[in-house]
Amino acid sequence: MASKLTDVRIRNAKPGAKPYKISGGHGLCVFIMPAGAKYFRLRYRYAGKEKMLSLGVYPEVSLKEAEAGAAQAHVLLRQGTNPSEDRREKKLLLRQAERHTFAFAASLWVEHNTPRWKPATLEKVRQYLDKDLLPSLGKRPLGNITPMELGAVLERIERRKALNVAKKTRQWLAAIYAFAIAKGLTASNPAIHLGSIALYQPEPKNHAHIGLEELPKFLKALETYDGSVLVKTCTWLGLWTANRPGITRTLKWSELDLDQGLWTIPKGREGMKRGYSHVTPLPTQAVEALRTLEPITGRYPYVFVGRNDWRKPLSDGAVTGLLKAIGYSGKQTAHGFRHLVSTALNEKGYDADWVERQLAHGDPDEIRGTYNKAVYLDQRRTMMQEWADYLEDALRSEVLQTVRKRSDASR
């Protein structure tokens, strides 16, 4: 009967000119190599043939660990399983799992859904993946990613106050993992409970804005403002176009074609929601007002330059300061002009799609399958000119008459 293997016995075994083994019973042995390396091996029989299973190198693998490995192999043998084949299969599964990274699953998910998505949706998904998910998760095996790891990714998004992005990201993470499970790429979905740790997202509040019946009084107060002509024109431009305040105050001369009466906001422009491009028709009143500013700021990048540094745009509090100065603090905000214009145009009976496009709501690629960034431009040009004329009339009237459309714009 072979002597029991002990650490002392293995440690004292000296290398010889040829490899030899010392046995410890039940097939467990240690091969001593001429160079001094000592390998644990398990000799066993399967299907009538003698086999050998490697259990590691001493002392990196301890005797206790080697004995545990041998005991596990004997359990498999009693179950009719070849330990060597079992190990080979597990290694193959592990290699496959390593190849099944988050990036791999995400790319298959995108490819699968591309035919059913609109171009804008596809672009949005890729932007979210490239910016927020792939940098930290891309190379990670799907099965190794934990809920805590995904939670950390979402927390980074929430810290920059992008709660809508975080919400969409949670949905897409769950969808990617559901797809991966169905494809056999992983067995679990760590994204399934992420909603329970989402930050509370309050209901959006409308920005303060006056009613249409107050418009004549407001416009008269605005017209009598005798402060900065830049701030005053910026305020009027917000009324004439309904563009976002941040976009309006950072308007660049390079974005304007006054001869054509167009303001083109390029894709990726800072301050533009989700970086969409947008074309704004300019009514004649806006063109005239902007031309009066060319001798003042035409040599600078920005139309509405900063008071202290003409290389920078107007501050974000400039229009707020004007509204306070004319007595409308808390009653009307720069962003509230968008609500005011939207209400008026809808009450005038204009097509809702024209109004939504003028307000740059949503991606232009998603509007009724039209893939022209200047969708409804002709209709909107007529609509916004009529709106500017309406403001001009309101400025000169004592009582605003019932809101009505001047003429039927071509549909």
Kindly list the catalytic residues: 244, 273, 335, 338, 361, 371
CATH number of the domain that residue 232 is part of? 1.10.443.10
Q: Is residue 408 part of a domain?
A: no
CATH number of the domain that residue 73 is part of? 3.30.160.390
List per-residue pLDDT tens for the chain, 411 residues long.
Answer: 557 889 999 999 999 999 999 998 889 999 999 999 999 999 999 988 999 999 999 999 999 999 999 999 999 999 999 988 888 887 766 666 557 889 999 999 999 999 988 877 888 888 889 989 999 999 898 888 999 999 999 999 998 888 888 899 999 999 999 999 999 888 889 998 888 888 877 665 557 788 888 999 999 999 999 999 999 999 999 999 999 999 999 999 999 999 999 999 888 777 665 557 889 999 999 999 999 999 999 999 999 999 888 999 999 899 999 999 999 998 999 999 999 999 999 988 998 889 988 988 754 444 433 334 457 899 999 999 999 999 999 998 754 444 444 444 444
- What integer pLDDT is reported at residue 271 of this predicted model? 64
Q: Are residues 223 and 190 part of one domain?
A: no
- What integer pLDDT is reported at residue 165 of this predicted model? 87
Q: Are residues 192 and 222 part of one domain?
A: no
Q: Are residues 130 and 53 part of one domain?
A: no
Q: Are residues 25 and 160 part of one domain?
A: no
CATH number of the domain that residue 126 is part of? 1.10.150.130
Q: Are residues 246 and 322 part of one domain?
A: yes
3-state DSSP call for residue 58? strand
Rg (CA), the chain: 36
Distance CA 31, CA 58 (A): 10
Domain boundary among 60, 87, 114: 87
Phi/psi at 375 (5° precision): -55, 140
Number of structural domains in the chain? 3
Q: Is residue 96 part of a domain?
A: no
Q: Is residue 406 part of a domain?
A: no
Q: Are residues 227 and 137 part of one domain?
A: no
Q: Is residue 170 part of a domain?
A: yes
Q: Are residues 232 and 175 part of one domain?
A: no
Could you tell me if 114 and 122 are in contact, meaning their C-beta atoms sit under 8 angstroms apart? yes
Neighbouring C-alpha atoms within 13 Å toward the C-beta of 217: 10
Domain extent, residue 367, equals 212-396
Q: Are residues 283 and 190 part of one domain?
A: no
Q: Are residues 352 and 253 part of one domain?
A: yes
Q: Are residues 221 and 189 part of one domain?
A: no
- What integer pLDDT is reported at residue 88 of this predicted model? 83
Domain boundary among 171, 197, 223: 197
Domain boundary among 152, 167, 197: 197
Q: pTM of the entire structure? A: 0.51
Could you tell me if 236 and 222 are in contact, meaning their C-beta atoms sit under 8 angstroms apart? yes
Q: Is residue 202 part of a domain?
A: no
Q: Is residue 1 part of a domain?
A: no
